[in-house]
Amino acid sequence: MAHQFSTSYVKDSIAIFQYYKKLAERGIAQCPDDALFASLDAESNSIAIIVKHMSGNMRSRWTDFLTTDGEKPDRNRDTEFEDAPKTRAELMEMWERGWKLLFGALEPLSDADLTRTITIRTEPHSVTQAINRQVAHYSYHVGQIVYLARHFAGDKWQTLTVPKKKSVEFNRQVAAGEKSQR
């Protein structure tokens, strides 16, 4: 993500969410189809299950973001960890649906909205707190997705950030304008 100076928390939050969305997508793209549904052990989640959970969370948190509790009464979180989508296309459709709700809720906000009070599980949060909570939650799961994708891609993996032992060269290229910052 190329850094762009901003004094708008809303715009910066949207940019951060876009960065993490793209990071996960770049990892998912390198993961073999069958591996999207594989877990490392019986207690671990597959990429498909993580996507299903994130999508369910996004639907709950971002639907009617300013006016209803962020934990919707019809959400059954436990089922988000069962019955993963069956295909890459189904998984990506679920992924996009969740992000569409997130960006649809954030884009109309102004920085004046940040002090408004919303609730999540009946607990009051400022809009700023609610956004921070979700940035932390989604970045955690994106890290899991990238880790799993990296594991399953094996030798075919192409790094998503600065390659190991290449930071000096990368920084030189950025300074020379040869690369945009990731």
**Domain presence at residue 133:** yes
**Domain presence at residue 4:** no
CA distance 51 to 21: 11
**Domain total in the chain:** 1
**Domain presence at residue 149:** yes
CA distance 78 to 115: 32
Helices (H) and strands (E) in the chain, counts: 5, 2
Taking only the tens of pLDDT, the chain with its 182 residues reads 556 777 899 999 999 999 999 999 999 999 999 999 999 999 999 999 999 999 999 999 999 999 999 999 999 999 999 999 999 999 999 999 999 999 999 999 999 999 999 999 999 999 999 999 999 999 999 999 999 999 999 999 999 987 777 777 766 766 777 765 44
Domain that holds residue 73: 9-175
**Domain presence at residue 45:** yes
**Domain presence at residue 180:** no
